[in-house]
């Protein structure tokens, strides 16, 4: 038996979430191509563009969009495969939310850290923390709902995941 640890958490990915990620990939690639049209249009129009402006404002966002668009489907597939493996080999364990703390970010993120107490099938308890942007985790951690949280764990590998039942509160959590 290998108890779960912070490092062995996987994101719980449903087929619907994986489909969403796969559908977002062409949108992100399209945004990258639209951004690519800007410097090309300026260059073809004979505009003189400072090199630093080209790099910082135009080229880096294009590379980011194209890279993200290419990796989204692959990442969604890996997360879905890991979730399906955990669903086959794991068992659901009761977990109780202890605390919820907002995670400080420079942007206006609603992400937070949920501290959990998970009861293992042996009766032992382990404390874990889970960072996410889902409404059900915040509600459980703040005590505004039942404090129980669904956790799936595989004691042979120590892999675990919080099974979300609410909704994602920001688009960034979906990416």
CATH number for the domain harbouring residue 130: 2.40.50
Q: Out of 86, 120, 141, pick the residue that ends a domain.
A: 86
Residues 63 and 31 in one domain: yes
Angle of CA points 164, 175, 100, to nearest 5°: 45
pLDDT of residue 169: 47
The reply to whether 34 falls in a domain is yes
Residues of the chain with pLDDT > 70, as a percent, come to 86
- Are 108 and 135 in a shared domain? yes
Is residue 66 located within the same domain as residue 116? no
Angle between helices 60-89 and 15-44 (to 10 degrees): 170
Instruction: Give the closest residue to 26 by CA, choosing from 87, 65, 69.
Output: 69
Same domain flag for 141 and 104: yes
Q: Which of 43, 66, 86 is the last residue of a domain?
A: 86
Helix, strand or coil, per DSSP, at residue 30: helix
Query: What is the per-residue pLDDT for 171?
Result: 42
Number of domains in the chain: 2
Chain centre to alpha carbon of residue 110: 13
Closest CA relative to residue 164, chosen from 6, 8, 10: 10
Q: Is the pLDDT assigned to residue 81 strictly greater than 60? A: yes
Using the Cα atoms of residue 111, residue 116, residue 122 and residue 124 in order, give the sign of their dihedral: positive
Q: Which of 86, 103, 135 is the last residue of a domain?
A: 86
Query: How far, in Å, CA of 8 to CA of 51, rounded?
Result: 44
Same-domain check for residues 80 and 25: yes
Same domain? For 82 and 122 the reply is no
Once rounded to an integer, what is the mean pLDDT over residues 50-76? 81
Count of residues making up the chain: 175
Q: Which residue has the higher pLDDT, 56 or 87?
A: 87
Structural domain of 59: 15-86
pLDDT mean across residues, the chain: 80
Same domain, 107 and 59: no
**Confidence check: pLDDT of 11 > 70:** yes
**Cα four-point dihedral sign 7, 68, 107, 139:** negative
Q: Which two tokens stand for residue 175?
A: 């990416």
Q: Are residues 119 and 137 in the same domain?
A: yes
Q: Are residues 96 and 81 in the same domain?
A: no
Residues 22 and 97 in one domain: no
Phi, psi of 173 (to 5 degrees): -70, -25
> How does pLDDT run across 96-141, given as a tens digit for each residue?
888 888 877 655 566 788 888 988 888 888 888 888 877 777 778 7
Q: Is residue 149 part of a domain?
A: yes
Residue 174 or residue 71, greater confidence? 71
Task: Please report which confidence band the pLDDT of residue 144 belongs to, taking 50, 70 and 90 as the band edges.
Answer: low
Query: Which pLDDT score, from 0 to 100, does residue 32 have?
Result: 83
Question: Does residue 129 belong to any structural domain of this protein?
Answer: yes
Sign of CA dihedral 86, 9, 14, 150: positive
Q: Between β-strands 148-153 and 160-162, what pairing exists: parallel, antiparallel or unpaired?
A: antiparallel
- Examine the domain organization and report whether 64 and 137 are in the same domain: no
On the question of pLDDT at 173 being above 60, the answer is no
- pLDDT value at 87 more than 80: yes
Q: What angle do CA 77, 167, 111 make, to 5 degrees?
A: 85
Domain presence at residue 1: no
Q: Are residues 94 and 166 in the same domain?
A: yes
């Amino acid at each position: 038996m290998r108890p779960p640890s912070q490092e062995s958490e996987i994101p719980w990915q449903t087929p619907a979430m994986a489909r969403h990620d796969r559908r977002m990939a062409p949108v992100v690639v399209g945004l990258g191509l639209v951004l690519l049209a800007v410097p090309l249009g300026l260059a073809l129009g004979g505009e003189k563009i400072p090199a630093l402006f080209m790099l910082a404002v135009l080229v880096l966002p294009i590379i980011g969009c194209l890279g993200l668009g290419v990796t989204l489907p692959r990442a969604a597939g890996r997360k879905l495969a890991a979730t399906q493996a955990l669903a086959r080999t794991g068992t659901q364990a009761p977990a109780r939310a202890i605390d919820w703390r907002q995670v400080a970010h420079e942007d206006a993120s609603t992400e937070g850290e949920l501290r959990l107490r998970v009861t293992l099938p042996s009766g032992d308890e382990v404390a874990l923390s889970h960072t996410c942007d889902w409404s059900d985790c915040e509600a459980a951690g703040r005590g505004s709902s039942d404090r129980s949280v669904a956790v799936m764990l595989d004691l042979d590998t120590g892999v675990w995941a919080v099974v979300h039942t609410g909704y994602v509160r920001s688009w960034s959590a979906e990416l």
